[in-house]
Amino acid sequence: MIAVCFLLITSCWGNFFHLKSKGKIDQLVEHYRNYTKTNSINLDQIKVREMIMYFTSSPEELQEPFRMNLSGRFSFIHLLFSMECGIEDFLFEDAWRKLFKDGTVIPNELFTKKDRLGMNVVHLALKYGNQTGIEKIKACAGKYERECFTSADIIGVDPFMVAASTLAFGVIGYSSYSPGYLRFLSTNLLYMFEKRYFLNSEGDISRDKRERNFLMGSIFTFTKRYRNVDDIEHFILVLKFLFGNLLSNLDDRYKILRAIDGWEGIADISKHCLLKSKIKKVIEEIKLCNKEELDNFIDKSTSLAFIDKAIIGKDISCEKRSGNKFTKKQIVGSIIDVKEELNSLKELVKQESVEILNEIDKLREFFVSIELTNISM
């Protein structure tokens, strides 16, 4: 009896010590209100970034970076990859260095651990536009890369499907997705096409639990949400981009055509006569063209320049209809060509000064104002 009591006491003391040994950041991660918007379950990017900054200044306050929060939705690592950021983001890079010091073996858990919705770091990086995180995965995942990029969530949706469906929705005029984010998705779709991450282990085009592949999913997403003719024109460019790259990397048009059998039955598309006729025309073009015509279709539709017509066209048509200027999110996302100017501030930015971050925002807005002036002219 005494021995049993002793074991219970030592066990409780051990648990108490474990709780006490948690860092402040571990405790913050446990409660989702510390990084979500008020009265919402959506991430607050400012709060997320502040938490990552806290870690970079006090890394000792994080003891278990892979520990999931109370809801099983996020760990610190998942939050890091859910941070919206561009290429070579100074904060992500600093956090990465402090998590995985030189010579440290990156745990396999980084590539294999999922949240309770079945999403891994690639799902999250694509969803939230974490460009630096995606590049890190490509650089260091090694033998886990294919698993990481093809792993499905609890409803069978893999990162490829996430990117394709989001791009289809993103070109709809009222969506808040910026051109920069949509271009990020397009770039990674090209990467995943080249790696053939659209195929499952049997060599067939992957499907989710509703038996939709990425083509079907894109058509379904767009059909449910579009509003006008301009949206249709932009989506047809997306569809050609997806078809062209699939043809380029699979080289079996009949297998592709079989993969979209029954597309007319999804999302009540029969009620959308114009959209239905436009999609049917693209499919008929692929089905009936000869080898030379097919090669021309592939050559024209597989580049970023081609999909840019949909991305940029969406924002121009949206502005014409509303009479409004771009939103702040669209403006920030549109900055593609200021990298050299921002690099000059890179070393200073690493000091994580709020004033410097404000200066960068001003610089971004300055270059965008010039770009928008040129467009309006």
In tens, the pLDDT along 161-206 reads 999 999 999 999 999 999 999 999 999 999 999 999 999 999 999 9
Both tokens assigned to 162: 């996430």
pTM of structure: 0.79
Determine the 3-state secondary structure of 199 from DSSP: strand
Q: What would the mean pLDDT of 121-128 be, rounded to a whole number?
A: 98
* Percent of residues in the chain assigned helix, strand, coil, to nearest 5: 70, 0, 30
Count CB neighbours of 273 within 10 A. Answer: 9
Determine the 3-state secondary structure of 101 from DSSP: coil
How far from chain centre, in Å, is Cα 333?
14
pLDDT of residue 9 exceeding 50, the answer is no
Between 63 and 9, where is the model more confident? 63
Count CB neighbours of 113 within 10 A. Answer: 15
Interhelix angle 229-250/304-322, rounded to 10 degrees, is 170
Model confidence over 312-327: pLDDT tens digits? 887 776 655 544 444 4
pLDDT of residue 18 exceeding 50, the answer is no
Range in 31-40, 131-140, 152-161, 191-200 the model is least confident about:
31-40
The mean predicted confidence, pLDDT, of the chain is 84
Q: Which of 185, 150, 151 shows the shortest CA–CA distance to 170?
A: 185
Non-local CB neighbours of 266 within 8 Å, separated by 6+ positions: 212, 216, 219, 220, 223
Residue 78: is it exposed, middle or buried by C-beta count within 10 angstroms (0-12/13-18/19+)?
buried
Give the pLDDT of residue 156. Answer: 96
Give the pLDDT of residue 166. Answer: 98
Model confidence over 66-108: pLDDT tens digits? 999 988 889 999 999 999 999 999 999 999 999 998 767 899 9
Query: Distance between CA 375 and CA 95 in Å, rounded?
Result: 38
Q: Which of 127, 135, 68 shows the shortest CA–CA distance to 96?
A: 135
Query: Distance between CA 177 and CA 181 in Å, rounded?
Result: 6
Both tokens assigned to 175: 């969506």
Query: Distance between CA 178 and CA 197 in Å, rounded?
Result: 25
Q: What would the mean pLDDT of 202-219 be, rounded to a whole number?
A: 96
Give the pLDDT of residue 317. Answer: 63
Q: What would the mean pLDDT of 232-255 be, rounded to a whole number?
A: 96
pLDDT of residue 332 exceeding 50, the answer is no
Query: Distance between CA 255 and CA 239 in Å, rounded?
Result: 17
Both tokens assigned to 71: 């809801």
Q: What would the mean pLDDT of 124-148 be, rounded to a whole number?
A: 96
Give the pLDDT of residue 21. Answer: 54
What does the buried/exposed string (b/e) look like for 344-373 if buried means 16 or more CB atoms within 10 Å of the residue's CB? eeeeebeebeeeeeeebeebbeebbeebee
Q: What would the mean pLDDT of 17-23 be, rounded to a whole number?
A: 55
Model confidence over 245-284: pLDDT tens digits? 999 999 899 999 999 998 998 878 888 999 999 999 999 9
Give the dihedral sign, CA 25/29/33/36.
positive
Confidence tier at 19 by pLDDT (50, 70, 90): very low
